[in-house]
C-alpha cells in the first residue's frame, strides 16, 4: 500500500473537517451566547446540536461526492434523515439549509469548490440520506461522526468532528477536528464558562488560542496537527501542520488518565480500581468525546480507558479516526483484553473484550492490561 495512494483523500478530508469545525463554531456561538452560566439543558440546545449534526453531515457528504465524483462515495454516518423530514422540524430544516449554504460558500477559503448556486432543501436532504452505508470488510467507506460529544457541544466544552476512511475493513485515514481543544493542556480540565470569564491577558496571546485538526495516514508513522483558523474572513487556510507524538512518560505515577464524563458511558468505579491497581496517582481527566484520543496523540495525557455498560455496543464512528491518529503518533489502542479493534464488522466494534484502552506506549499498555485483569478478578463484575 503506497504512501501516496491516499494523498488526495487525506488532503480533501482535512480541508472538509476544517470547514465542518468552522460550521460548528458558528452554530455554537449562537448557542453559547443564548445561555447564561446557570445553564439548564433546554429543547433549544437539543435543536442547535441537531442543526450542527445535520449540517456537518450534509456538508461532508456534498464535499466528498464533489471531490470524488468519479467513484460511488460510500459514507457511514450517525444521523438518519427520517427525523429531519418530519413536518414538525420545518424550522430545523430551514436552519440546516441556511447553515450548509453559508458553509459551502466558504469552500474556496479551504481550497475546495463551492456549488454554483445555493442548494435547496431536497438536495440537502438527499446529501444527508446518502450517508447510509453499513461499512463492512469490503470496499471503501468514509466514516463520519458529525458532532461527537453532544453535551460537550451544548456546554461549550470539548467535542469533535471525526472523519475516517476504511478500506477492506482497515482504517487508512483519520481526521479529528477539535474546535475547543486548548493550546495549553492545563485548560482541558476547565469548563468553558470559567474559561470565558477569565481576564484576557491580551487577545494576541496564544494562551487563549484553541482548536485544532489532527490527522494521520496508516503506515506513515506520523500524526499531524493543524491549528484551526478562527472566523477571520481575510485569512485563507494554509497547511501549517506540526507533527505530534505521544508522551514519553511510562511511569504510572506520573501518567494522566482520561475517561468519559458521564457515568452512562463508562464504569467510573471500575476505571478507578484499574487506576489504583496500576499505580496511577493523578485525578482522572474527564473529557467529552473523541478529544480523549487527541489528548493522547498530542502527549497531553497517557491513558484513556472506557468500560461501557454490558450490552452497549461501541460504534465505529466513535473510534476510527481517533484510533489511527493515536497509533500513528506512536501509541497503542486495543480492547481491554489487549486485542486490536476490528473495524471490518459493520457499524459496531463487535467482539470487544470488556472495553477500550489507549496508551501512549507499550510499557503503560502492558501494565494497564495487567491491571484490568487483576481488577476484573477482584470485582467479579
Active site residues: 53, 150
C-alpha to C-alpha distances, 160 to 63, 93, 240, 305, nearest whole angstrom: 19, 22, 20, 18
**80 is an annotated ligand-binding site residue:** no
Angle between helices 43-67 and 121-129 (to 10 degrees): 80
Q: How many CB atoms lie within 10 A of CB 15?
A: 21
Q: How far apart are CA 288 and CA 163, in angstroms?
A: 17
**DSSP structure class, residue 132:** B
**250 is an annotated ligand-binding site residue:** no
**CA diameter of the chain:** 63
Are the C-beta atoms of 184 and 264 separated by less than 8 Å? no
Q: Which residues of 124-149 are buried (b: 16+ CB within 10 A; e: fewer)?
A: bbebbbbbebebbeeebbbbbbbbbb
What size, in residues, is the chain?
381
Q: How many CB atoms lie within 10 A of CB 276?
A: 12
- Element containing residue 125 per DSSP (H, E): helix 121-129
**148 is an annotated ligand-binding site residue:** yes
Q: How many CB atoms lie within 10 A of CB 56?
A: 32
> What are the cell numbers at 367?
501494565
Q: Give the DSSP per-residue string, 47-74.
A: HHHHHHHHHHHHHHHHHHHHHTTTS---
Binding-site residue ranges for Mg(2+): 78, 145, 148, 318
Binding-site residue ranges: 78, 145, 148, 318
Amino acid at each position: 500500500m503506497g504512501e501516496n495512494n491516499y494523498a488526495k483523500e487525506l488532503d480533501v478530508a482535512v480541508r472538509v473537517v476544517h470547514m465542518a469545525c468552522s460550521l460548528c463554531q458558528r452554530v455554537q456561538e449562537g448557542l453559547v451566547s443564548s445561555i447564561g452560566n446557570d445553564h439548564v439543558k433546554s429543547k433549544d440546545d437539543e435543536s442547535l446540536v441537531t442543526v450542527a449534526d445535520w449540517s456537518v453531515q450534509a456538508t461532508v457528504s456534498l464535499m466528498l461526492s464533489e471531490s470524488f465524483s468519479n467513484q460511488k462515495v460510500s459514507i457511514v454516518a450517525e444521523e438518519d434523515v427520517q427525523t429531519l423530514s418530519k413536518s414538525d422540524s420545518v424550522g430545523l430544516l430551514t436552519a440546516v439549509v441556511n447553515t450548509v449554504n453559508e458553509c459551502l460558500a466558504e469552500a474556496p477559503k479551504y481550497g475546495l469548490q463551492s456549488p454554483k448556486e445555493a442548494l435547496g432543501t431536497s438536495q440537502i436532504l438527499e446529501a444527508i440520506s446518502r450517508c447510509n452505508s453499513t461499512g463492512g470488510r469490503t470496499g471503501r467507506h468514509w466514516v463520519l461522526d458529525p458532532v461527537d460529544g453532544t453535551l460537550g457541544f451544548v456546554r461549550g466544552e470539548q467535542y469533535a468532528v471525526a472523519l475516517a476512511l476504511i478500506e477492506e475493513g482497515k482504517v487508512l485515514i483519520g481526521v479529528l477536528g477539535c474546535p475547543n481543544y486548548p493550546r495549553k493542556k492545563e485548560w482541558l480540565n476547565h469548563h468553558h464558562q470559567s474559561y470565558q470569564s477569565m481576564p484576557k491577558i491580551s487577545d494576541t496571546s496564544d494562551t487563549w488560542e484553541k482548536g485544532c485538526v489532527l490527522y494521520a495516514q496508516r503506515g506513515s508513522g506520523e500524526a499531524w496537527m493543524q491549528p484551526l483558523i478562527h472566523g477571520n474572513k481575510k485569512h485563507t487556510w494554509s497547511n501549517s501542520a506540526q507533527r505530534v507524538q505521544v508522551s514519553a512518560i511510562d511511569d504510572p505515577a506520573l501518567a494522566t488518565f482520561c475517561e468519559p464524563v458521564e457515568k452512562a458511558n463508562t464504569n467510573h468505579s471500575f476505571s478507578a480500581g484499574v487506576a489504583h491497581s496500576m499505580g496511577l496517582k493523578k485525578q482522572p481527566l474527564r473529557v467529552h468525546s473523541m478529544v480523549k484520543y487527541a489528548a493522547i496523540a498530542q502527549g497531553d495525557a497517557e491513558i484513556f480507558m472506557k468500560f461501557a455498560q454490558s450490552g452497549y455496543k461501541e460504534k465505529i464512528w466513535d473510534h476510527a479516526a481517533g484510533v489511527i491518529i493515536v497509533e500513528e503518533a506512536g501509541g497503542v489502542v486495543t480492547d481491554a483484553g489487549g486485542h486490536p479493534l476490528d473495524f471490518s464488522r459493520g457499524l459496531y466494534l463487535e467482539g470487544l473484550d470488556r472495553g477500550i484502552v489507549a496508551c501512549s506506549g507499550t510499557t503503560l499498555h502492558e501494565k494497564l492490561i495487567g491491571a484490568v485483569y487483576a481488577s476484573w478478578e477482584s470485582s467479579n463484575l
